[in-house]
Chain A
Amino acid sequence: SQQGEEDPQALSIQEGENATMNCSYKTSINNLQWYRQNSGRGLVHLILIRSNEREKHSGRLRVTLDTSKKSSSLLITASRAADTASYFCATVPEYGNKLVFGAGTILRVKS
């Protein structure tokens, strides 16, 4: 069963605006990752945040993690049309090796 639940399911914004996606999970984790998927094909890893980290940045991406609420958010600043994709969070359990993916957020950036 999927652990991560993303919201919103779909998000449509104008180019230049910020996009925020949220992810909630159920069990204790070792780390949480965000992936992007274009056109329903392969996923590309974006960023990994460990359970003892609260915030991480990579370029225009900012990820936060709140383990007390079992939630994470992905912020994409100054969005571009090329950011249009599906975004998935995935968790690695505290005891285990498998990534467990959420259902994803579909982001559309209009130019």
Chain B
Amino acid sequence: DAGVIQSPRHEVTEMGQEVTLRCKPISGHNSLFWYRQTMMRGLELLIYFNNNVPIDDSGMPEDRFSAKMPNASFSTLKIQPSEPRDSAVYFCASSFRQGLAYTFGSGTRLTVV
């Protein structure tokens, strides 16, 4: 298996622009997680899905953030409009089901200028 695939690896955008991050989980994994990593706050869970259904989005910082999982093999995290404080590394992870081992993607390093 190719593992969890995220794109793009790096994204530089101007403040106010829309940003879309993409994730392809491991085939057969039923749980998908979006995390954000910053120096100040470490790794924070933003939202997770079980069987394509959003279960807990309490970590999503503001209404500017939204996430979708239209099918079992694809998820997006969208920021609109983006702000400099959104600069971080965004990780996607998947697991066979919640409560089991997680596999992380390589992350997307987002810089908003």
A binds B: no
Taking Cβ atoms with an 8 Å cutoff, the residues of B that contact A are: none
Taking Cβ atoms with an 8 Å cutoff, the residues of A that contact B are: none
